[in-house]
Structures are given as structure tokens and as C-alpha cells.
Amino acid sequence: MKILFASPEVAPFIKTGGLADVAGSLPPALAELGHDVRVILPLYEQIGEEWRSQMTFVKYYYVRLAWRSIYCGLFQLERNGVTYYFVDNESYFKRQGIYGHFDDAERFAYFSRAVIETPGQIDFKPDIIHCNDWQTALVPIYLLEERYRQNALSRSKSVFTIHNIEYQGRYGRDLLEDLFGLDESYFNENMLKFYDDISLLKGAINAADYVTTVSPNYANELQFSFYAHGLEGVIAANRGKIRGILNGIDMKANDPSTRKDLAASFSSRNHKGKAKCKAALQERLGLKVDPNVPIIACISRLVGHKGFELVCQAFRGIMDMEVQFVLLGTGEWGYEQFFRNAQNEYPGRVSANILYDGALSDAIYAGADIFLMPSIAEPCGLSQMFAMRYGTVPVVRMTGGLLDSVPAYNSEENTGLGFTFGSVDAGDMLGALYRAVGVYYDDKKAWDQLITRDMEADFSWDRSAQEYVDVYRTITGLE
Ligand code: GLC
């Protein structure tokens, strides 16, 4: 099958969150299954010279956005069996920061038009156009008509993946015609109308031939308003074409037995190197170097839905245990400040790293003992998978993909991969941490086996990529 995969961010070129990891690792997995996969993304200023020097210029053309006609330069690069297309328009993408501009609606509407018009320009006839999150939500909507206008799209079906329903692309009704180029007929409850506004995500859910989200459990949770942020009715109305498919991670790139850039390598059968990674981490972060004290780590954006309220409430209780605490991430000022203060209050025991640093995050995955992820909502979550891959035992709230990927530790049968709790409650979270720290101190053998199971757990794309292919087959009727 011919697949065009559109995403506002794709690792390793540009990343702000888990979407980039998925967009970076699912397409090569689909290519490995024998499909012709092309990925398309904006050529942001932040995409570095190391990639630009490998790109070739394909051509330029003008895409239509309502009454505008806008320059689109197309660059291309091959990697891991996949062709990547970069959409160049400096007035939209040569800026600091990739989101959060006053004209994001226009920037991503333009990108969506580029996704729709590029196949015809390069003589590629996609069977599937697979879009991700609100930034590409207009693509399935445009396709409703464009498949009748453009020969290249005449057989194209759309798949729309929700990575996080909280970000919906909600705009005033006045943008509909003038900016997006959609007539009044799109302003109805079965399409984009959301109260008196328009919601791009709602439109995509209605318009796409198939909708997926990133874990089976999140697909269930989206029936409830607590998780669906106002779109539960839209989800219910489209139930028959929605499915949850658990994300995978790149198991090879994240194999601590072959990585050369860690303080030491280690494997599921031999954990010795992990102790070296731990000592190196403690040293690097100014923590007391002590092999016997467990390090609890959080790597996350510091925002409410990641559960930081619980961490703050329970923090004294956590530090009353014999533990060290490492945080990496940026976000809401109040949380940043909380952890800076905590570092001052517990010198040598708490390390607050208010920044984003890929190498440090790998050093933490490899060197920590316990990975805390108390999310209020978590569509899939990849950090818990990375943590397990590096033998760091997760403590998670049973929500979204955390429930699907972290079966609870059972001491009697010696099964499970981590420690879990159910309610959004600081005391319950603390209880799960107590249990984890308890096993760490009191049952070394069980802890060691837990590390082995975590490292060997299969979070590869093999199975999930096949599930996407099943969806593609269902809607195209192709083999
Ligand atoms: C979003 C979600 C996260 C998911 C990721 C990739 O960042 O919040 O749970 O893992 O997308 O699908």
C-alpha cells in the first residue's frame, strides 16, 4: 500500500513530545512490512544542519488556502526505508518555537493544504493519508471534496490518530470561510461546529474514514467527559470507526546492551552496568553517591494532567522514605518553582533539572530505579516503556496506556511489571511508592526479577504496525 503519513513533528528531526517518537518509529515499521511510506512535515527553522545537508530540493509550487495562493517548497530525504518530505515556507516556519504563535491556525491550515496538494505535484497516489492531532485535522476534512477534484487522491482514504484529545484546535467561526476555505455547510454538528465555535479535532473525527487513538484503554476512556474534554458525544457517534492501538517504541535504538553513550552497558541478564549508570547519574546531578538508596525519577512536561499536583502533595511523604528524587522537565512555573525549592530543601537527595535534554533523559532512564508517572490522563505514554526498557520499574496511575502497558506486580506469582494505583489521590500514589520501595529494600531477588521482566517486555512496533495495516485494509479493501 502507498501511505502518506502527516505529522507536525517527527523524531529525530523535530520533537516536543511523544507524537514525534511515534511519527519517527511507526513509518519505518510500516515500511518494513513492505509498504511504500512517505512522511510529510513542516521544515521548521529548528531542524538542524545535520539533516538539511542531507536534503534534496524536489520542486516548488503554490498551494491554495481559501483565497490565498501560498509558496510551498518541497525538500526530500531518505532514511530507514522511508521518504521524508519537508514543506518549506519561511514566513510560517522560520520562527522561534514550533507552536504557540498567534497564527497557528493559519500555519497548520497551510500545512494541511500542502499535505493535500503535494501528492498531485509528485505523482504519488496514496491509498492512505494518515494524519495526527489537531494540526493535521483539516486534512481528512479537505479530502472529503478533494478526492473528487484531484486524480492523485481519487482512491485515498484517511486515518486520523488522536494522541491527545485535550488539544483540539478550537477557533472562532469567522475563520471557517476566510481562512480555512470551507463553506457554511461545514458549520454543523456532524462536522466542525462545537458550541458556537469550530473544533478542528471534532471535524477530523467526523470526516476521517477511520479514527485511532494510541491505546485500547484510552479509546474506552474517551466515552467519558472526564477524559474526552467535551467530545464524548462525537466519540460515541463515531464509535464504529474508532479503535485504540497501543504505541510501540524503537527497541533497537533503546537497547542498553548496545548503546555506547551510557556510562556502562547492561542487559536483562546482567544488570551490573546499571549500577555504574546509577553512580554516574548521582555524581553528575550532585546526589550522594550511594548504590543502596533507590532513585525515584520523573521525566515529563510539568503540567496538570501529568499528575504533578499529587507529587507536590505527597512530596514530604516521599522524602520521608530513604530515597533520592530526580526530576527532568519544564512546564508550568508553579511546578518548576516547587522542584527548585525541593532541591534546596533536600541537598544531595533531590535533583531538579528544569530543562529538556535528551542525553540526560537517557542517563536518567538508565540510572534510576523507580519511574513515577501519576498521570491524570495518559493517552498512551511512552516514558514508562522507555523506563522499563532500561530496567527502571514504573509506578503509574492506572489510566490510558499506562493501564495497558504496566500490569501490576504480584508478589505471590512473581508477575507484573510495575506498581499501580487507581484514584487521583496523593495518598494512593504514596502507597504505590511505599510498595515499590519496600520490595526494593526487602526483597532484592524479586526486584532483580522485576528488572529483568521489564527489560524483556515487548513494546516493539511489530504488533501495532500490523494493527494499523489491518485498519488500512479495512477501509481501502486492498490486500
Ligand atoms: C501524546 C500523549 C501521550 C502519547 C503520545 C504519543 O503526547 O499525551 O500519552 O504517548 O502522544 O502517542
In angstroms, the CA 157 to CA 140 distance is 8
3-state secondary structure of 53: coil
Mean pLDDT of 53-70: 98
8 Å CB contact between 212 and 159: yes
Strands 56-65 and 128-132: unpaired
Determine the Cα–Cα distance for residues 182 and 3; give it in Å rounded to an integer: 26
pLDDT level of residue 66 (50, 70, 90 thresholds): very high
Ligand 1 pocket, residues with Cβ under 6 angstroms: 17-19, 22, 163-164, 214, 247, 378-382
User: Residue 438 Cα, ligand 1 centroid: separation in angstroms?
Assistant: 30
Nearest atom (ligand 1) to Cα of 19: 6
- For ligand 1, what atom is nearest to the CA of residue 161? 12
The whole-number pLDDT of residue 256 equals: 98
User: What separation in Å is there between the alpha carbon of 381 and the centre of ligand 1?
Assistant: 5
Is the peptide bond between 12 and the residue preceding it cis, with omega within 30 degrees of 0?
A: yes
Q: Which pLDDT band, with edges at 50, 70 and 90, does 61 fall under?
A: very high
Predicted TM-score (pTM) of this structure = 0.94
User: Is residue 341 predicted with pLDDT exceeding 90?
Assistant: yes
C-alpha cell at 457: 517486555
Q: Single out the residue of 391, 186, 143 nearest to residue 273, CA to CA.
A: 391
pLDDT at 233 over 90: yes
Closest CA to 48 of 20, 21, 23, 13: 13
Expressed in angstroms and rounded, the spacing between residue 379 Cα and the centre of ligand 1 is 6
Q: How confident is the model over 275-314, as pLDDT tens digits?
A: 999 999 999 999 999 999 999 999 999 999 999 999 999 9
Ligand 1: which of 16, 247, 306 to mutate, most ligand atoms within 8 Å of CB? Answer: 247
Report whether pLDDT(339) > 90.
yes
Residue whose entry in the numeric block shows the C-alpha cell 543502596: 292
Ligand 1, pocket-test mutation among 9, 15, 19, most atoms within 8 A of CB: 19
pLDDT digits (tens, 9 = 90+) for 391-450: 999 999 999 999 999 999 999 999 999 999 999 999 999 999 999 999 999 999 999 999
Confidence of residue 6 (pLDDT cuts 50, 70, 90): very high
Instruction: Measure 162 CA to ligand 1 centroid, in angstroms.
Output: 9
CA dihedral 369, 342, 289, 295 (to 10 degrees): -10
Q: CB–CB of 219/239 below 8 Å?
A: no
The C-alpha atoms of residue 19 and residue 59 are separated, in whole angstroms, by: 28
Pocket probe for ligand 1: among 132, 164, 373, 464, the residue whose CB has the most ligand atoms within 8 Å is 164
* Summary mean pLDDT of the chain: 97
What's the distance, CA 286 to chain centroid? 30
Q: Residue 130, SS3? A: strand
Q: Quickly tell me which residue has 498512551 as its cell.
A: 380
Q: Which pLDDT score, from 0 to 100, does residue 463 have?
A: 85
Residues 6+ apart with CB under 8 A from 75: 43, 55, 56, 57, 58, 85, 86, 88
**Residue 123 Cα to ligand 1 middle (Å):** 33
Report the pLDDT value the prediction gives residue 209, as an integer from 0 to 100. Answer: 98
Are the C-beta atoms of residues 111 and 8 closer than 8 Å to each other?
A: yes
Give the ligand 1 atom nearest the CA of 21.
6
User: What gap in Å lies between CA 118 and CA 85, rounded to an integer?
Assistant: 9
Q: Strand runs (DSSP E) across 177-303, as ranges?
A: 193-194, 197-199, 210-213, 242-244, 295-299
pLDDT(8) > 90 = yes
CA distance linking residue 133 with residue 131, whole number of Å? 7
**Cα 65 from Cα 83, distance rounded (Å):** 25
Percent of the chain with pLDDT over 90: 98
Query: Relative to the CA of 218, which ligand 1 atom is closest?
Result: 9
In the prediction, which pLDDT does 391 show? 98
Distance 455 CA to ligand 1 centre (A): 21
Residue 323 is predicted with a pLDDT of 98
The predicted-structure confidence for 117-163, as pLDDT tens digits, reads as follows 999 999 999 999 999 999 999 999 999 999 999 999 999 999 999 99
Q: Which amino acid makes up residue 124?
A: F
What is the C-alpha separation between 98 and 246, in angstroms, rounded? 27
pLDDT confidence band for 479 (50 / 70 / 90): confident
CB 70 within 8 A of CB 103: no
CA-based angle 114:119:123, to the nearest 5? 145
- Going from the Cα of 160 to the center of ligand 1, the distance in angstroms, rounded, reads 14
Instruction: Report which residue type is found at 242.
Output: I
pLDDT(257) > 90: yes
Q: How far is the CA of 121 from the centre of ligand 1 (A)?
A: 32
